[in-house]
A and B are shown apart, each in its own frame.
Chain A
Amino acid sequence: MVNDRNSFIFRSLSTLLVILVINFFLPRMMPGDPFSTTSADEVGGEIIVMTEEQHLYYVNYYGLDRPLYEQFLSYMKNLMTGNLGRSIYYKMPVSDVIMLHLPWTILIVVSATVVSTISGVVLGTLSAKNRKKGSDRIMMTGMIAFAEIPSFLLGLILLLIFSVYFRLFPLAGAVTPFAHYNGPTDQVLDILYHAFLPVLTLSLSQLTGVYLLTRNTLITVTTKDYIRTARAKGLGEKNVWIRHALRNALLPVVTRTGFMIGIMMGGVVLVENVFSYPGIGMTLRSAVVGRDYPLIQGILLVIAVSILICNLLVDKIYGKLDPRVVI
């Protein structure tokens, strides 16, 4: 047991180290540096053109002219003390920038996970119960066709239909700008209103996976002997399906949910940009455009760590759900 735990910690730490190395070197392999950007990203922003002197000054100021390994070591040293560095673009600590935007991302990722898992399980169960009947066939074909649409394209279509054409939902942002709320309920509603389309897009992109997994696992599980035993006991269809079939079929779905959060952390970058949603995905984009190395590193690190944490959690939960697994 102790050995297992140690090796688990060792594995996590070495994974983290690899991620840190990649995080550090990848942004620096892009052409240009934080000070060679000459265009402002936002419309109407000031266009700053630096002189050669100014450029060198800034490069020197941020220590970017030092050898790479020295920069890496100092990055690691700072990281040990919890210091992620300062954002060049935002001119504030990276951790502050991330704390400002991360909650929005967490909001839509978690909501999308909950929505897609629940609806996927429900639809998968319905499909499995009506296996080989018309409703199952239609649902299955539809879902598979649907899964082929990339999430950003889906987001664009939803945005065009619901926000541009029907004007049902906002085009951008997480809250109505300059709004005055009459109490917290209003505020929550406004946040949900803005989050609706991004969450919907993310959920839809994950729905098919959950649906297919639930349906197929359920179909496999219902051929198991213990389902026959449960039926023989005369427990009633509802009991058989929920207590015996679904309880077992959900085990792989739980595992999948963990991976799903990881996949969504990647997908959310695109979706946030489509909806101009102020999460870390949008921030990452502007950081990349501005070659804001410390910020890129910080955000990628947060994404990587959250994926690691999710996998860890899934393992723990699985151990609780399936007595055959010892963690």
Chain B
Amino acid sequence: MSLLKINNLKCHYLTDIDTVKAVDGISFEIEEREILGIVGESGSGKTTVALGIMGLLPENTAVSGEILYRNEVISSLPEPEMNRFRWKDIAIVFQNGLEVMNPVLKVGVQVTEPMIKHLDISPEKARSKCADLFRTVGLDPKWMDSYPHQLSGGMRQKVLLAMALSCDPKLLVLDEVTSALDAFTRKEIRDLLVDLQKNGYTMLVISHDITFVSSVASRIAVMYSGKVIETGPVRDILVSPLHPYTRGLVHSTPDIFVYKDLWGIPGDVPSGDEFEGCPFSPRCTQRIDICNKTSPVLVPAGEGREIACHRGGIAGLLAAKNLNFSYRLPDGEYLQAVNNVNLEVMEGEVLAIVGQTGSGKSTLAHILADVIRPECGDVLFMGGNVFGGNYGSRFNGIQIVFQDPFSSTSNRFTVLDAIKEPLYINKIGSNGDRLQMVKSALELVRLPSSDNFLRKYCGELSGGQRQRVALARAMVMEPKLLIADEITSALDVSTSANILRLLKGLQNRRGFAMIYISHDLSLTLKIADRIAVMNSGKIIEIGNSHDVMLSPSDEYTKRLVGSRIGLCCHTH
């Protein structure tokens, strides 16, 4: 029997202007002694769920659905009835704010208050119990006689925790308890919660801090715009998130990707109650027609996981199977440049292929882009075969940007001609349309779109500018997959940093997938979600970029990582 069960709970705030669907039909269960985590961005409705469970929603809230505590419906109880459950059965730990406790009452009084009310004990007994609780949460009982404003944020949070524990509740709801705390206090609270769970507490941990939640909870529900979009065991959610939003959350978490630059999920939650489709669709990189029309429901996805996505989670974009390619050397020997490579690229992901020169990276890239044909094997892009599919000459297809901008763009072309070329060759748009497209592509890569610049010859440009022109030429075709083959290796450090940030920014904003080929490990670590390591034409290791780089399993990868030249002051 589950301790708490929530059935299709909806909490809509009715304001004078419109209706805010803070919680829009969510269901979940918490088993006894389980810790369930709810994560999501601010505004996703997490706190509303917590307040809904406590029966503390403001008066202008329309609540439907039911909340069951030990099979008793508590969602529609009148106030005095609800008070039977509050604190004795279900207690909540609020986020520590300056005004979360009564400013004119001593904290000890505020902790003992519910004990006297619910446990029917004398004030003296309550006080001594309060002192015990203070010691449990790691506070000196002498603080009982101070006022809330005299305590630090961390101490206040501990008092709030002690307060919630005062009547030995069965279920603890923790709402953003670590958000405003320093790392040290956060760890203390976490350890405390783990101890409490061993003592038999059931908990609902609500936070946007996915690291904190995953360190205490056994199961996670991801909320977005008032709906649960993914649930599952903590480890699975972190390692292989199914929903693009969950992936975005995980990727925005610095504790998980320590070295990667931070890129939030672009866009905002759709506002207004008119929107019928999947709430994430405006920000989603893999939306299809149905996503704008109906909202997906949560369906089982195996292994105790559930997902709400019309596409069944993050979709595959490109799949390569059994690719082989050999070069014929002058002496008649064959060099196996690509040896039985299998590869998958998901929607919106950045896959880096690393390896030393001659490992076959570029050859692989050229095969994937249909520049050269493999001896055998297939490459599928969005379900269609790349070979003969002409994905390079279509919108939303595959584009490649090469290593050397000086050879990939002609000196004798003007900027306009160079970028317009793919449109011209593929007979896309009228001349006016083409100019417009070129200008917006230039803006994307942060180059001037003035007539003056358009008339410049590529030969007059600097290396960085020329690589941007090459990038703009790829972007003008609005690719779903961009293959960047060593695009920064010909540039100086500062220019390559600028290009890389630009590229990653574009990728994040436009949501295309990217295969980033490089031999620079430090750079890859900054932008890649996954890394594939190539050696002698084979992919020898592939996985989450930080796992591969920080704890490589293959011998070659270890050597590759170890061969980075550190600065004199660093010891690797």
Contacts and interface: CB of A to CB of B under 8 A. Distances in A.
A joins B in a complex: yes
Interface of A: 224-226, 228-237, 239, 243-244, 247-248, 251, 321-324
Given A224-B99, A226-B99, A234 B118 contact: yes
A233 B102 contact: no
B548 interface: no
B69 interface: no
B100 A229 contact: yes
A323 B104 contact: yes
A224 B99 CA distance: 7
Interface string B103-142: 1110000000110011000000000000000000000000
A131 to B, nearest CB: 10
Given A225-B99, A233-B113, A247-B102, 11 more contacts: A229-B102, A230-B102, A232-B87, A233-B87, A233-B117, A234-B87, A234-B117, A235-B113, A244-B102, A247-B105, A323-B147
A183 B51 CA distance: 63
B54 A232 contact: yes
User: Which 6 residue pairs of A and B lie closest in terms of their CB atoms, listed nearest first?
Assistant: A234-B86, A234-B83, A323-B147, A233-B114, A226-B102, A225-B100
Contacts of B56: 228, 231-232
Contacts of B85: 234
A239 B117 CA distance: 10
B293 interface: no
Given A232-B54, A234-B87, A324-B149, A248 B114 contact: no
B84 A234 contact: yes
B236 to A, nearest CB: 33
Interface of B: 51, 54, 56, 79-80, 82-88, 91-92, 94, 97, 99-105, 113-114, 117-118, 147, 149-150, 163
A224 B117 CA distance: 22
A236 B103 contact: no
A229 B111 CA distance: 11
B117 A321 contact: no
B133 to A, nearest CB: 14
B83 to A, nearest CB: 4
A247 B99 contact: no
Nearest to B97: A225
Contacts of B102: 226, 229-230, 243-244, 247-248
B158 to A, nearest CB: 15
B117 A232 contact: no
Contacts of A234: 82-88, 114, 117-118
A239 B102 CA distance: 13
A247 B54 contact: no
A324 B51 CA distance: 29
A233 B100 contact: no
A247 B187 CA distance: 36
B101 A229 contact: yes
Best-buried of B83, B104, B163 by chain A (most CB within 10 Å): B104
A243 B113 CA distance: 10
A152 B85 CA distance: 56
Contacts of A247: 102, 104-105
Nearest to A237: B79
6 contacts: A225-B97, A226-B102, A232-B86, A232-B87, A234-B118, A323-B149
B103 A324 contact: yes
Nearest to A324: B149
A226 B105 CA distance: 11
A224 B104 CA distance: 13
A270 B296 CA distance: 74
A233 B104 contact: no
B415 to A, nearest CB: 58
Nearest to B54: A232
Best-buried of B54, B92, B97, B102 by chain A (most CB within 10 Å): B102
Contact of A248 (B84, B88, B103, B150): B103
B114 A229 contact: no
A195 to B, nearest CB: 35
A239 B101 CA distance: 15
A233 B90 CA distance: 9
Given A225-B94, A228-B56, A323-B147, A236 B83 contact: yes
B117 A323 contact: no
Contacts of B88: 234
A251 B104 CA distance: 10
B127 to A, nearest CB: 17
Nearest to B86: A234
A321 B105 CA distance: 10
Nearest to A228: B56
Nearest to A321: B104
A243 B106 CA distance: 12
B572 to A, nearest CB: 49
A235 B94 contact: no
B492 to A, nearest CB: 54
Nearest to A226: B102
Nearest to A132: B59
A229 B166 CA distance: 14
Nearest to B89: A234
A234 B149 CA distance: 24
B357 to A, nearest CB: 61
